[in-house]
Amino acid sequence: MTYESTATLEELATRIRAAKTIVCTSHEKPDGDAMGSVLALVRALSPSHEMHAWLMGSVPPPMQSMQGGTPCHNIAGPDDIPVFEPDLVIVLDTGAWSQIKPMAEWLRDRHDRVIGVDHHASGDDVASVRYVDASAASCTMLVLELLDALQIEPSIEVADALFAGLATDTGWFRQANADAAAFAAAARLLAIGVEKDRLYRVIEETARPSRLALHARALASVEWIRDGRVAIMRLAQKDFDETDGRRSDVTGLVNAPLVVDGVEMAALLIEEKDGGVKASLRSKPPAEPGGPFMDVRAITGQLGGGGHVHASGAKLSCTLAEGAAKIDHAIDSVEL
């Protein structure tokens, strides 16, 4: 199926105006953009609607600290879904059944009442009507547009959440998707009073010492291939055990080798508890506009994964060493 808009933001705004009770949700293990989108919409609509934020899966600590005084209900599995029939359900920052498993059946049963807002290039018919713009740097960019359609000016609390989503999905405005529209939205939100330094501290500087211990091990594991243009790092389960490390301790670590001159792509392979390997890939944008770059979505695509051209991932059924070999092999087809 083609994953495109089936409605305008004006039409979604009309659906929202017509509802009294609304549930906002997003993908499992919400990241900054998922969390920011849900919090922004719940906060912005609370004066006029009965709003409910439902978050699926475990919520990483930095995302919990974004919550502030906005109540959020956690849904680990179908049993956690409250007995409640909202007028409308808004699914944000995803449209893929694979990312909303704990609520999939519940959402299917209420399909007519589900609307979606997303900036991903692929997805399913989770929502009966959806607004999709894959050119948007973050879903919160689209939530801001939706609020404009609703003629709601963001409060500082709403602006905080919108900015957090935009900042985290663009690597704090360093990645290729941080375009003119992203900076324009950031400027507008800063003018409302967003304290970006405080947000950075709350979201990015909350690690435990285990994070550094795991980083040290991952950096020590770097294997340079393809004449130093590709760096592959590995972390085994024992690395996590011996450092008291958690999966959340390695967020963003995959980018570390990209600081080296001449490196075009970095990969981080993590041995899963239940066997198998989770591979995360990142690549640099072209040195000049329109120049060559490594399309990591094409690489993980060959391994059953997906993502974006500069950030992608895949789950592999193999050992760490085999995983590194598979990635090396998959690069052949996208060689610069």
Residues that bind Mn ion (CB under 5 A): 33, 93, 139, 169
Cβ atoms of 194 and 163 within 8 Å: the answer is: yes
| DSSP states along 31-42 | -HHHHHHHHHHH
Closer CB to Mn ion, 139 or 266, in the complex = 139
The residue to which tokens 């990142």 are assigned: 282
Shortest-Cβ-distance residue relative to Mn ion = 33
Closer CB to Mn ion, 186 or 218, in the complex = 186
| DSSP states along 49-93 | SEEEEEEES---HHHHHHHTT--EEEESSGGGS-S---SEEEEES
Closer CB to Mn ion, 49 or 308, in the complex = 308
Residue 142 Cβ vs Mn ion, minimum distance, rounded to whole Å: 10
Closer CB to Mn ion, 9 or 143, in the complex = 143
Residue 271 Cβ vs Mn ion, minimum distance, rounded to whole Å: 27
Closer CB to Mn ion, 139 or 314, in the complex = 139
Nearest Cα residue to 58 out of 34, 82, 30 = 30
Residue 224 Cβ vs Mn ion, minimum distance, rounded to whole Å: 31
Closer CB to Mn ion, 177 or 283, in the complex = 177
Residue 160 Cβ vs Mn ion, minimum distance, rounded to whole Å: 17
Alpha-carbon span 190 to 160, nearest angstrom? 9
Length in residues, the chain: 336
Closer CB to Mn ion, 143 or 231, in the complex = 143
Q: How many CB atoms lie under 10 A from the CB of residue 216? A: 12
Residue 311 Cβ vs Mn ion, minimum distance, rounded to whole Å: 11
Cβ atoms of 22 and 158 within 8 Å: the answer is: no
278: left (phi over 0), alpha (psi -120 to 50) or beta: beta
Closer CB to Mn ion, 167 or 269, in the complex = 167
Alpha-carbon span 174 to 154, nearest angstrom? 25
Residue 119 Cβ vs Mn ion, minimum distance, rounded to whole Å: 6
Residue 101 Cβ vs Mn ion, minimum distance, rounded to whole Å: 18
Residue 198 Cβ vs Mn ion, minimum distance, rounded to whole Å: 22
Residue 137 Cβ vs Mn ion, minimum distance, rounded to whole Å: 9
The residue to which tokens 């290729």 are assigned: 176
Closer CB to Mn ion, 142 or 214, in the complex = 142
Residue 60: CA atoms inside 13 Å, Cβ hemisphere, count? Answer: 23
Q: Which two tokens stand for residue 226?
A: 């393809």
Alpha-carbon span 134 to 122, nearest angstrom? 9
Cβ atoms of 302 and 327 within 8 Å: the answer is: no
